[in-house]
Structure 1
Amino acid sequence: MPSFFCSSFLWYVEKLAKFLNYSIPVIGRYELEEMTPNIEVAKNISNHLNIKVGYLLEGNRQSRFV
């Protein structure tokens, strides 16, 4: 894996974790699909990112925005 990808990914995870007030390891595990957020966490993340929960959990591009 290129170091640019690693540093960009870590930067993104760190910023998202800080923005959402969650721990960096938890956000990283969500991003790597090692862990799935419960519905309340998913709602919080989707609200902050202005996307539907379904898109967040399933990646359905047609229902991306609220």
Structure 2
Amino acid sequence: MSEQHSKSRQQAEIAFGKTQSQFFARGQAFEEIDAITAARTEKTARLREARLAKEAADSLALAIKPAQKRPGRS
């Protein structure tokens, strides 16, 4: 079922194929960048939440801890 096409048509089909493959490669690159960006955003949010929880726990522990008495003062 191979059809014979003119030389100019064959060249046009080859050029179109190259353009299509570049287009799909570009789309794939953007998908990879978007995935990396989403992962970075999720990690940043997770780390921020952990930091805020630790700061709150430290603040609470400091508030609960009784004041230390200094020796030598009456």
Considering fraction of residues, name the structure with more helix: 2
More contact order relative to length (CA 8 Å, sep ≥ 6): 1
Computing the radius of gyration from Cα coordinates, the structure with the larger value is 2
